[in-house]
A and B are shown apart, each in its own frame.
Chain A
Amino acid sequence: MIALGPRTLFVKEVRRFLRVPGQTLLSPVITTVLYLVVFGFALGGSMRQVHDVPYVTYIVPGLIMLGVISNSFLNTSSSFFMMKMQETIVDLLISPLTHVQIVGAMVAAATVRAAMVGALTWAVAAIAQREAAIPHPLYAIAFPLLTSIGFAALGLLTAIWAEKFEQVNFVPTFVITPLTFLGGVFYDVQRLPGFFATLSHFNPILYVVDGMRYALIGSSSVDPLVGLGFLVVFDAVSIAICIQVLRVGWKLRS
């Protein structure tokens, strides 16, 4: 049984993104559908095959993870940064909520949003392809879940650090989006020239996308357990940093 304090913060955070579903749920799904239409169908994707599956099927796992990553990050970063700007952060700082409870509630709410965006994206893709089989359902839950926890924590850290809106957008624009696009969402990194293929293996998002591909289409370039292992470490480290930053009061308590 979770205590009333953190449960309240969780409920508030979930209600906050549900208040503006067009922006928080629909918009990311529409973006993904556009990628699906343009890359999957219009640019001849329906005729191509990658790893013995139609190209459109190949890109769906990556598109789902794209939505999961950006929405988990955006939920904590925008909400917490708004709290800072509007000074409602005081309400949390003077409350008896522990640092662990604050991080837990914020991250859990972001995970819910990421899961909803991921599930909607998957549903739209399944309808478009008339195919809803999931070869590895446990992986299909574990990968998005673990991914969203880490990126939600990263969003929280970014919001604590940022002093301007521009800085909140810094991480998604300069880090997450490039890494995601270069992480094999739209192509198999093994087909890149040698140096770039090697370089791609230093991109953590590759393992996340590849793991989800294993879950949904049954094949991958890297062992999915490596991806899961990486995610567990990533989550633990980012959550631990968040808790420590709140404990010290960096940028929040003077």
Chain B
Amino acid sequence: MEATRPVVEIDHLSKRYGALTALEDANLDIREGEIFALLGPNGAGKTTMIGCVAGLVVPTRGTARVLGHDVQRDYRFTRRAVGLVPQEINYDPFFTVEEILRFQAGYFGVRLSDEKLEELLRAMDLTAKRRSGTRALSGGMKRRLLIAKALVHDPKVLFLDEPTAGVDVELRRDLWSYVRRLRERGTTIVLTTHYLEEAEELADRIGMIDRGRILLVEEKRKLLERFGQKSLHVALAEPVHALPPALAGRGARLLEGGCAIEVVQPAHEELGPVLREVLGAGLHVRDVETRRSALEDIYVRLLAEHGRQP
């Protein structure tokens, strides 16, 4: 695979608040055009790390660069390249949706074109509310307005801090599809989440962080392959009393009073041979179900290895 230039480079970044270490010697590169998910429990340091890049947090040590520019020395350059959707919903009750978007673009030195405004309103399903005061928006609409605000200046990299916290299932799906569309158009996306499903659904690469330390950074596919497991659940038409020896050798278990067999094996191994042995033993198969162990299992295991309850 062709290596792409990092859009964000985090280099030995640390942040301390008195005795509390929020971030400890973090190193991370975000590649151009990827969706990177930063996973970790509450208080792990996800928001601090994003804050260091976006300009909300001044690091105690280390540097962060965006497109090769230092975020503190060259803040005027890097902030134009970064969009941030903060975790907390904010809104200014004095102004309408449209005014807020125009002001936000103005802060970035951009005059928001009518086409761009329409596009953002449409994408965030806020067209009908463009002249409404922000107080009249529902929680979901306010969150969508935050995303629209972060996009007014066409950032090269978009940080989404817990974008779907407290968001209903339908909106979550809509947001996910919009995030994918943004990526297709070349925006690099970094999202923090503690919804594992979100990371599994969206991310190309995953970073896991806990107590300010990055525990692991890996491509999602490889992570699932390396740590993941696959289980095959075979429901039988007639119960059996004992496992056929070939299956027993594979570590299979008899379940549901002999009505089902379950085999668990590494995710990268084929299931074909197992099925052949089931059929070869003359068993009558009623149904077959497979399940990949999800990111959640990996996450729980990894945190447990570091002595933590997720």
Contact = CB atoms under 8 A, between A and B. Distances in A.
Interface of A: 3-5, 7-9, 11-12, 15-16, 19-20, 82-83, 86-88, 90-98, 249, 253-254
Contacts of B79: 94-96
B288 interface: no
Given A249-B58, A253-B56, A254-B17, A96 B109 contact: yes
A3 B80 CA distance: 15
Contact of A91 (B17, B76, B104): B104
Interface stretch (B89-97, B169-177, B186-194, B204-212): B89-97
B84 A8 contact: no
Contacts of B77: 96
Given A253-B56, A254-B57, A88 B76 contact: no
A85 B141 CA distance: 20
B106 to A, nearest CB: 3
30 contacts: A4-B106, A7-B106, A8-B103, A8-B107, A11-B103, A15-B94, A15-B99, A20-B94, A86-B92, A88-B90, A88-B92, A91-B90, A91-B104, A93-B56, A94-B54, A94-B55, A94-B82, A95-B104, A95-B108, A96-B75, A96-B76, A96-B107, A98-B76, A253-B55, A253-B57, A253-B58, A254-B17, A254-B51, A254-B56, A254-B58
A87 B51 contact: no
Contact of B106 (A8, A82, A86, A249): A8
A19 B103 contact: no
Given A253-B56, A254-B58, A94 B84 contact: yes
Contacts of B6: none
Contacts of A88: 90-92
| Shortest Cβ-Cβ A-B pairs, 6 listed | A8-B106, A95-B107, A87-B90, A96-B76, A96-B79, A88-B90
A236 to B, nearest CB: 25
Interface in B88-141: 88, 90-95, 99, 102-111
A5 B106 contact: yes
B31 interface: no
A197 to B, nearest CB: 45
Nearest to A101: B107
B84 A90 contact: yes
A245 to B, nearest CB: 14
Contacts of B110: 4
B13 to A, nearest CB: 14
A177 B169 CA distance: 54
Contact of A90 (B82, B90, B93, B111): B90
Contacts of A3: 109
Nearest to A87: B90
A44 to B, nearest CB: 44
A12 B301 CA distance: 51
A85 B51 CA distance: 18
Given A9-B106, A86-B92, 18 more contacts: A4-B109, A5-B109, A12-B95, A12-B99, A19-B94, A20-B94, A82-B92, A83-B92, A86-B91, A88-B91, A90-B56, A94-B54, A95-B104, A95-B107, A95-B108, A96-B79, A249-B58, A253-B57
Contacts of B109: 3-5, 96
Contact of A87 (B80, B86, B103): B86
Contacts of A254: 17, 51, 56-58
A16 B94 CA distance: 6
A53 to B, nearest CB: 42
Contacts of B104: 91, 95
B149 interface: yes
Contacts of A98: 76
Contacts of A96: 75-77, 79-80, 107-109
Contacts of B75: 96
Contacts of A92: 107
Nearest to B55: A94
Contacts of A86: 90-93
A17 B107 CA distance: 19
A5 B152 CA distance: 13
Nearest to A252: B56
Contacts of A91: 90, 104, 107, 149
Nearest to A10: B106
A124 B157 CA distance: 55
Contacts of A12: 95, 99, 103, 106
Nearest to B15: A254
B22 to A, nearest CB: 9
A4 B111 contact: yes
A12 to B, nearest CB: 5
A93 B91 CA distance: 15
Contacts of A19: 94
A143 B57 CA distance: 40
Given A95-B107, A253-B56, A90 B86 contact: yes
